[in-house]
Amino acid sequence: MLEQRLFAYHFLNAGPDPVETALEAYRNADGGYGHALEPDLRGPVSQPLHTGRALRVLDAVGRCGGQRVERVCRYLTSVSTPDGALPAVTPAQRGYPTAPFLPVVDGPPSDLLTTGPVVGLLHRNDVWHAWLFRATDFCWQAVESLQVSHPYEIQAAMTFLDSVPDRPRAEATADRLGRLVREQRLAALDPSNLDAFPVSPGYGPGERHFPHDYAKTSGSLARAWFTDAEMSRSLDHLAAEQQEDGGWPIRRRQWAPSTALEARPMVTIEALRTLRAYGREVG
């Protein structure tokens, strides 16, 4: 239901209210979101990953603000690690089905993959809350210390860098990350020769990332990492991945059939939005 409402908003000129109504079903009394909004975590309990996805939805429809986000920030404060950041999964997930690559542990560590996108989205929407100060400091420290990385970590870093207020610092850091991405071959620059770009350790078979995965719009700092020809090949590859039923495939690791079915509509919407952002025909 949520993805249907999002599709209607992005491509059928529908309004944001139905999206908000659908998203409300995932919200809990503590201000966070749960109920498998992020398919890799099952169960009703609020989790930072679910809440981050909820913020992406609200950002996409221009509703990332007000009392709703104030409640979200209170939830984020309640589950933060000692250094003010977010863990990937809190111990409240214990007892519910969980992807094997998201371990549930006591005292979980701070996680850039979870914290970076949340902090970036809140800054993008000019949200100011006490939680953001230490979380922003954590992101700067984590991003600026990256030496060996992997695609999802770079994506999280770029969501942060694309919106954090200190633009000169963000631009300098993004430039360094771009060199790292190319040196470590974290972007498949030639889709016709994928063997030249190894899959990162722990990723699923064929789970490569392409220039468009880092620069989803031309306004992203990551766009400067790639030539026009590299980006064009990347977008051609994205368009060619559309399947007979109109959707896009799941490239990430799959651990249960239901999670792939639930994730595919969002992957399809993101593919269509990326193509449209670069002026490509969508359909």
Looking at the chain, the whole-number percentage of residues with pLDDT higher than 90 is 92
**10 Å Cβ neighbour count for 219?**
10
Whether 62 shows a pLDDT value over 90: the answer reads: yes
Q: What is the pLDDT of residues 169-218, one digit of tens each?
A: 999 999 999 999 999 999 999 999 999 999 999 998 999 999 999 999 99
Whether 254 shows a pLDDT value over 80: the answer reads: yes
pLDDT value of residue 256: 85
Q: How confident is the model at residue 3 (pLDDT cuts 50, 70, 90)?
A: very high
- Cross-strand partners of 27: 33
CA distance 215 to 210: 9
Whether 252 shows a pLDDT value over 80: the answer reads: yes
The mean pLDDT value for 76-101 works out to: 96
CA distance 54 to 157: 19
Q: How confident is the model at residue 259 (pLDDT cuts 50, 70, 90)?
A: confident
Domain chopping of the chain, boundaries: 1-139, 146-283
CA distance 4 to 206: 28
CA distances from 140 to 2, 85, 112, 144, 213 (A): 33, 11, 10, 6, 22
Which of 278, 271, 276 lies closest to 230, judged by CA?
A: 278
Radius of gyration (Cα) for the chain, nearest Å?
Answer: 18
The mean pLDDT value for 55-60 works out to: 97
- Amino acid at position 163, single letter: S
Q: What is the pLDDT of residues 116-172, one digit of tens each?
A: 999 999 999 999 999 999 999 999 999 999 999 999 999 999 999 999 999 999 999
Q: What pTM was estimated for this model as a whole?
A: 0.95
Which of 182, 217, 186, 216 lies closest to 200, judged by CA?
A: 186
CA distances from 122 to 28, 56, 77, 131 (A): 20, 10, 14, 11
Nearest-5° angle of CA 269, CA 149, CA 175? 80
CA dihedral 213, 53, 78, 87 (to 10 degrees): -40
Asked whether the beta carbons of 173 and 143 are under 8 A apart, the reply is: yes
Whether 283 shows a pLDDT value over 80: the answer reads: no
pLDDT value of residue 255: 83
**10 Å Cβ neighbour count for 60?**
18
DSSP letter, residue 192: G
Q: How far apart are the two ends of the chain, measured CA to CA in Å?
A: 20
Q: What is the pLDDT of residues 68-86, one digit of tens each?
A: 999 999 999 999 999 999 9
- The mean pLDDT value of the chain amounts to 96
Asked whether the beta carbons of 47 and 89 are under 8 A apart, the reply is: yes
Q: How confident is the model at residue 22 (pLDDT cuts 50, 70, 90)?
A: very high
- Amino acid at position 43, single letter: G
Alpha helices in 145-190 (DSSP H): 151-161, 167-183
3-state helix, strand, coil in the chain (%, to 5): 55, 0, 45
CA dihedral 209, 212, 215, 219 (to 10 degrees): 180
pLDDT value of residue 180: 98
Q: How confident is the model at residue 47 (pLDDT cuts 50, 70, 90)?
A: very high
